[in-house]
Amino acid sequence: MKAKKNNAMPSRTLSKKSLMRSRSKARTSSLSPSQIRAFQKKIYNYYDIQGRELPWRKRVTPYRVVVSEIMLQQTQVDRVIEKYKEFLTAFPDFKTLAKAPLPKLLKIWSGMGYNRRALSLKKLAKALVSEHKGKLPSDPEVLVTLPGIGKYTAGAVSAFAFNKPVVFMDTNIRRVYIHEFLHDRRNIHDDELIPLVQQTLDTKNPRKWYNALMDYGSMLKKEQVNPNQRSAHYTRQSPFENSNRQVRGRIVKVLVKGSPLTAARIVKETGMDAERVRRNLEQLAQEGFIVKKQDRYLIE
């Protein structure tokens, strides 16, 4: 009987926790009209005074938006601004990008990190030219089927490029809702935040609303302890120094100069550990970033 009682305890405890979470979720997912108005006013007041002037917000086109969104994945805004203008000058539309020589594309992308995104952009452009007459769809369910576009990017592109009242989540949006509505909570799941995003969405001008949320969230990160640390989805980005990302970045930077090089020469040029360079060379070749011809590597 004692063993049976002990076995039953965890089940009752878990059920209680589950019930508490459901009740908490119910509380946080229902806002009054006055709460919604006050929240929207607060966000817009900040945006009207402190809103950032970003190049992809000035002349909005689907192409400019999707390029900015993919560039902004895991890269700071200031760094993206530098590369964004150069990228658009070299590749002003989907048709040009689809035909872009890979060495030129990676040379311009160099310094942004996560070079796989550059390949994804080129694949996206090729898919749009061949399957969608060079036009970006506005429906998030269609967008998410395209190369390089995940659930968040599909929602962001739909809102920013087409001003559609879609609901989506990113790190800045998450930060805002945790800070404003869940002050004393930890281990917060996005499924608790999504109803709040949906209720407070400015359906008349979702583009402006999400821009305002992004800027308010960016400010929160700089001015206080990051509220996202209380999210169940929070992870710290691994250090760049001496990482595989750094090794891969240096390899690409060496090869975009144009000359085919041996592994030994690439090791010397990058100044990185020989074994790690060789391992990453093979991986980059498998992924299609670089080509191995006999004993030399190149981008073509």
pLDDT the model gives residue 184: 79
pLDDT the model gives residue 241: 66
pLDDT the model gives residue 28: 53
DSSP-H helix ranges across the chain:
2-28, 33-50, 55-58, 62-71, 77-90, 94-98, 102-109, 116-131, 140-143, 151-162, 171-181, 190-200, 206-223, 244-255, 263-270, 274-287
How many other β-carbons are positioned within 10 Å of the β-carbon of residue 124? 22
Give the pLDDT band (50/70/90) at residue 242: low
**What average pLDDT does the chain have?**
86
The single residue of 69, 131, 282, 287 carrying the catalytic annotation is: 69
* Number of residues that this document lists for the chain: 300
- Among 150, 146, 116, which residue's Cα sits nearest to residue 131? 146
**What is d(CA 221, CA 170) in angstroms, rounded to the nearest whole number?**
13
Q: Are 234 and 174 in contact (CB under 8 A)?
A: no
Q: Which two tokens stand for residue 78?
A: 């200031």
Mean pLDDT of the 9-16 span:
35
Mean pLDDT of the 52-62 span:
95
pLDDT the model gives residue 118: 93
Q: In this predicted model, what pLDDT tens digit does every residue of 152-178 receive, in sequence order? A: 999 999 999 999 999 999 999 999 998
Mean pLDDT of the 105-134 span:
92
pTM > 0.95: no
- Among 142, 98, 87, which residue's Cα sits nearest to residue 122? 98
Question: Is the pLDDT score of 200 beyond 80?
Answer: yes
Question: Is the pLDDT score of 245 beyond 90?
Answer: no
Question: Is the pLDDT score of 37 beyond 70?
Answer: yes
69 is catalytic: yes
Question: Is the pLDDT score of 149 beyond 50?
Answer: yes
Strand order, beta sheet including 291-293:
261-262, 296-298, 291-293
- Name which residue leads in pLDDT, 136 or 250: 136
- Among 65, 61, 57, 80, which residue's Cα sits nearest to residue 154? 65
pLDDT the model gives residue 276: 92
Burial class (CB in 10 A: 0-12, 13-18, 19+), 141: exposed
Q: Which two tokens stand for residue 108?
A: 């311009």
Question: Is the pLDDT score of 205 beyond 90?
Answer: yes
Q: In this predicted model, what pLDDT tens digit does every residue of 267-283 receive, in sequence order? A: 999 999 999 999 999 99
Q: How far is CA 58 from CA 53, 120, 208, 239, in A?
A: 8, 25, 12, 33
pLDDT the model gives residue 30: 86
